[in-house]
Amino acid sequence: MHDLKRCGRAGVSSPMAMAVTLLLLAALPCLAQHPARLTMKGTDGQTQGIVRYLASSRSFEIKTANGITQTVKASDVARVELAQQPAGLQKAVNDVNSGNYQAAIPVLKQIAGSYVMLGPDVIASQALALAYLRTNRTKDALKICEDLQKVNPDALNSGSFAKVYWEALLAENRTATLRTSLRTAIETGSREVAAAAQVVRGDLEMQANNPREALLDGYLRTILLFQDVAFIQPEALFKAIKAHEALNEVQYAERWRKRLLANYGTSEFAGRLQ
């Protein structure tokens, strides 16, 4: 049930009124509001107050300290900065990274729903989808990613989120959609997004038992052309090693093994070599 203290109305004077309030709260989602600062596009102007996102009009409503309520289009907002990150978000992300999926899932669901278009929705949805992928709930993982993009299309500007979305498409054999999304990311995305897309393109080729193409069109491109995108390098190196091993190219595999251990020795993928 929703948190009545936070979402309800004080001063309900009769049992009947209380019953009506409870029914309404059970039927309707609580409209999440959070202290935040909005920075508008094309200007240094900022507005600070209590913010909520209105999905029906794709806009933000902000109530300032002097009691004035303003509504601005989401397309006019350059940046949203929360006064405080959601309690439990980092722990839930850490739980997913350490394999404690069941403890993290309910926390991530709540945060993803309560912080729509405010930033933590992308982080929580990414971790939630990853938890579903790692527990073989691939349909749920894909639904989380697609639901977020319907409300927040800019989510794909995050290379980390895009990577999880593409993994879900790959797991669900949505090859045509995946190839189209990868092509768009490589042609028009940021370097972070394009680097992640190259790795997943390699995964597509490995799935089709084409390790040579996986190297040339995916992993080696990432290793050699996107060295500045650090978050994807350990995975690209690890998968390049596996592709070279599939081709019996031991010398090249050893080259990338040394780089992975030397530069990213504490990463998950370095750990997989042990």
Residue 262 has pLDDT above 60, yes or no: yes
Residue 274 is predicted with a pLDDT of 67
- What is the pLDDT averaged over residues 192-205? 96
At which residue do the structure tokens 């997989």 appear?
Answer: 272
In this prediction, residue 31 has a pLDDT band, given cuts at 50, 70 and 90, of low
Chain centroid to CA 124: how far?
6
Ranking 1-10, 28-37, 125-134 by mean pLDDT, the lowest is: 1-10
What whole-number percentage of the chain has pLDDT above 90? 76
Residue 22 has pLDDT above 70, yes or no: no
Residue 27 has pLDDT above 60, yes or no: no
Residue 11 is predicted with a pLDDT of 38
Of the candidates 180, 113, 127, the one whose C-alpha atom is nearest the C-alpha of residue 158 is 127
Fold designation for 89-271: 1.25.40
pLDDT tens-digit series, residues 213-246: 999 999 999 999 999 999 999 999 999 999 999 9
Residue 153 is predicted with a pLDDT of 87
The residue that leads in pLDDT, 262 or 65, is 262
The answer to whether 33-83 and 89-271 have equal CATH topology is: no
Instruction: Give the relative orientation of helices 159-171 and 175-188 as an angle to the nearest 10 degrees.
Output: 160
- Beta-bridged to residue 77, according to DSSP, are 40
CB atoms within 10 A of CB 123: 22
The DSSP output letter for 230 is G
- What is the pLDDT averaged over residues 248-269? 95
The CB-based long-range contact list for 173-180 (8 Å cut-off, 24+ gap) reads 174/142, 175/204, 178/204, 179/204
pLDDT tens-digit series, residues 91-116: 999 999 999 999 999 999 999 999 99
- CA dist 9 and 119 (Å) reads 28
- What is the pLDDT averaged over residues 69-88? 92
In this prediction, residue 66 has a pLDDT band, given cuts at 50, 70 and 90, of confident
Name the architecture of domain 33-83: Roll (2.30)
Contact 32, 116 (CB under 8 A): yes
Residue 51 has pLDDT above 60, yes or no: yes
In this prediction, residue 67 has a pLDDT band, given cuts at 50, 70 and 90, of confident
The residue that leads in pLDDT, 195 or 17, is 195
Instruction: Give the relative orientation of helices 120-134 and 159-171 as an angle to the nearest 10 degrees.
Output: 30
The residue that leads in pLDDT, 2 or 99, is 99
User: pTM score, two decimals?
Assistant: 0.79
122 token code pair: 């992308």
Half-sphere exposure of residue 51, counting CA atoms within 13 Å on the CB side? 27
Residue 10 has pLDDT above 80, yes or no: no
- CA dist 46 and 103 (Å) reads 37
In this prediction, residue 273 has a pLDDT band, given cuts at 50, 70 and 90, of confident
Q: Which residues contact 141 (CB under 8 A, 6 or more apart)?
A: 129, 130, 132, 133, 164, 167, 168, 171
Residue 165 has pLDDT above 70, yes or no: yes
Domain boundary assignment for the chain: 1-30, 33-83, 89-271
Q: How far is CA 74 from CA 3, 13, 32, 71, 112, in A?
A: 27, 38, 16, 9, 18
Residue 44 is predicted with a pLDDT of 74
